[in-house]
Structure 1
Amino acid sequence: MKVLSFGEMMLRLKTPGNERILQTQSYEATYGGAEANVAVSLALLGDEVSYLSKFPNNPLGQAAKSTLQKYGVDTSKILTGGDRLGIYFFEKGTSVRSTNVVYDRAYSAFSQVAQTEFDWPTIFKDVDYFYFSGITPAISPDLEQAALAACEYCKQQGIPVVCDLNYRAKMWSPEQAQKVISKIMEYVTICIAHDEDFEATLGIQAFDGDSSRGIEQKESFKAAMKQVQADYPNCKMVASILRNIYSVEASQWTALLLTDETFYETATYDMHVMEGVAAGDAFGAGLLHGLLHDYSSEKLVKFALAASVLKLTITGDLNLVSEAEINQVMESNSGARLAR
């Protein structure tokens, strides 16, 4: 079975160590982006995955494509054109100083793509699952329409749609997000939402904003997940990570999965975080991998969270781990339990 992942890949420039952008004189250059991160994870797990985006025909675009190819992602669907690759600057926080991201993605090749450039019957001819995040429709009106058109085509063809709502306040407002995501959710088969994603994108409150006690709000998360399925009957599965974040480095992570009117819960991991970026993408990839291989619901959420917490130990956007490593983490912790 093959997955198509749809989104923007960017050049990531990170300050060394914990230096601030204001003080640094050099940057570590890598490549990443939500949907690209998922594609690489799936390829590393041995799954068939292709990536849909648009890259400029210059060395940066070529380097981004080479990064995907190096890890086994099919890049044959990527469009070429435009003037630039999007960039984001990453400043790692520490202790009480939060990690910060600065986007420089305006007028990127992907943000300037026209919805008419996507030939959906050709793009989806060998696809079994479609994955994208809420970041993609936030980039431009054309990508909003493209995401919606892709979802409509998937419904016609019976292709499951997996969407990580992935709200980014620096890209759009809750009002804008809710207007768009409410349309897209009519087609979503599997929904992933964490923390403020529920309220910002769907207007459903699951989380009061206190990141130090997300796990303690488990019941409100469960109520929100039930509400998602009540509002969007096509959504057969809702998954969410719950966290208690005490500082940039210290946090606790657990996860919930709702499917067939039953909740599945994982154990809680006490984490010392090396770099708190793209763990949600790793979770989404883990969930998709389990779906592709018919994991039980219990194993599905356990595997996804194990993949996610492993990402917290790795620098860069990409979760460079194997299935064996994820299984080792999953099996070394206490098992997920069934909660009705």
Structure 2
Amino acid sequence: MKVLSFGEMLLRLKTPGNERIIQAQAFEATYGGAEANVAVSLALLGNEVSYLSKLPNNPLGQGAKSTLRKYGVDTSELLIGGDRLGIYFFEKGASVRSTNVVYDRAYSAFSQVERNEFDWPTIFKDVDYFYFSGITPAISSDLEQAVLDACEYCKQQGIPVVCDLNYRAKMWSPEQAQKVISKIMNYVTICIAHDEDFEATLGIKAFDGDSSRGIEQKESFKAAMKQVQTDYPNCKMVASILRNIYSVESSQWTALLLKDGTFHETAAYDMHVMEGVAAGDAFGAGLLHGLLHDYPTDKLVKFALAASVLKLTVTGDLNLVSDAEINQVMETTGGSRLAR
């Protein structure tokens, strides 16, 4: 079973420790990006996964490609060209100061890609699942159309489409997102949405914006998940992480999954967070891994959340953990607490 993941890979520049961007004299350089993070996670878990993007033919593009290859991702479908690799600057928060991201991705090779550069029949040869996030169609009108073209091809070929709605307010408005995502959702088989994703991308309210009491809003999340399947009958599964975020370092995590009219829930994890980035991507990868290996639905959502909370203990975008480590966390009894 093979997964194709489609999106933009970025150079990540992080300030040392908890320094602010305006005071930093140096940055730690790594690579990441939502769909690339999912691809690496799947490869590390032993799955066959191909990554589709466009990278410039320069040392930064080569470094990004080498990172993917190092972790076992198939890069044969990558397009090479354009002038630059997108960048994001990462400033880790502390206590009551939120983590912050600054994008520098305009005119990147991927953002300049044209719709007709993708040969979908060739790209989807031997592919069993298609994965992307709401970030990809937000980048450009050509990529919006490319996503729709890919989804249409998947529909014709019976390939399940997995989408993490992944709303980014710094990239587009709710009005723009809803206009685009409402079209894409007609093709989506498995939908992943967290926090404000429901309302921002679909106009369905699940969350009141109070991050300190997300878990307490479980019933409104359930209602929103049911509404997604009512509005988009092709969507057979909806999954979501619910969180109580008390500070940058302290939070509680649980997850819901709706399939065949039944909700499946996980225990709650009390987390001391090392770095709160890409945990949603880890969740999506865990979900896909479980689907590829025919996990029972209860185990599916538990495995996905265990992968997600483990990412909170790993610096960088990539969830550098093994199947055995995820299973160990998933099978932890009692309060499902992680060792601190």
For this structure pair, what is the TM-score category when the shorter chain's length is used for normalisation? Answer: over 0.9
Which amino acid in the other structure matches residue 157 of structure 2? Answer: Q
| C-alpha contact (below 8 Å) 1:212/1:243 kept by paired residues | yes
Name the residue aligned to 1:332. Answer: 332
2 CA distance for matches of 1:118 and 1:126? 16
Percent identity over the alignment is: 89
* Aligned equivalent of 1:248: 248
Query: Structure 1: which amino acid aligns with 2:87?
Result: I
Partner of 1:309: 309
Question: Given residue 6 of structure 2, which amino acid in structure 1 is its aligned partner?
Answer: F
**Structure 2 unaligned spans of 5+:** none
- Cα distance in 1 for partners of 2:74, 2:32 equals 16
Q: State the alpha-carbon separation in 2 of the partners of residues 28 and 304 from structure 1.
A: 28
Q: Which amino acid aligns with 2:272?
A: H
Q: Residues 334, 147 of structure 1: CA spacing in aligned structure 2 closer, same or farther, 3 A cutoff?
A: farther
State the distance in 2 between where 1:21 and 1:185 align: 37
Whether contact under 8 Å (2:268, 2:335) holds in the other structure is no
1: distance between equivalents of 2:131 and 2:312? 22
Q: Which residue of 1 aligns with 2:163?
A: 163
Q: What is the CA–CA distance in structure 2 between the aligned matches of 1:158 and 1:224, rounded to whole Å?
A: 27
Equivalent in the alignment of 1:205: 205
**Large movers: runs of 4+ above 4 Å:** none
Cα distance in 1 for partners of 2:333, 2:124 equals: 38
After superposition, residues 1-340 of structure 1 pair within 5 angstroms as: 1-333=1-333
Aligned length: 336
TM-superposed CA distance for 1:333, in Å, is 3.6
Deviation readout 1:184-221 (Å, 9 max, x if unpaired): 00000000000000000000000000000000000000
Q: Aligned partners of 1:232 and 1:335: how far apart in 2? A: 35
RMSD of aligned Cα (Å): 0.9
For 2:72 and 2:333, locate their aligned partners in 1 and report how far apart those are by CA, in whole Å: 30
Contact persistence 1:266–1:335 (CA under 8 A): no
- The code of the aligned residue for 1:227 comes to Q
Unpaired runs of 5+ residues, structure 1, are: none
- Cα pair 1:267 1:333 within 8 Å, conserved: no
Cα deviation, residue 335, structure 1: 9.5
Deviations 1:159-181 (A, max 9, x none): 00000000000000000000000
More off after superposition, 325-334 vs 37-46: 325-334
Q: Contact 2:160–2:188 (CA<8 Å) still a contact in 1?
A: yes
Return the letter of the residue paired with 2:196: E
Q: Secondary structure at the match of 1:172?
A: coil
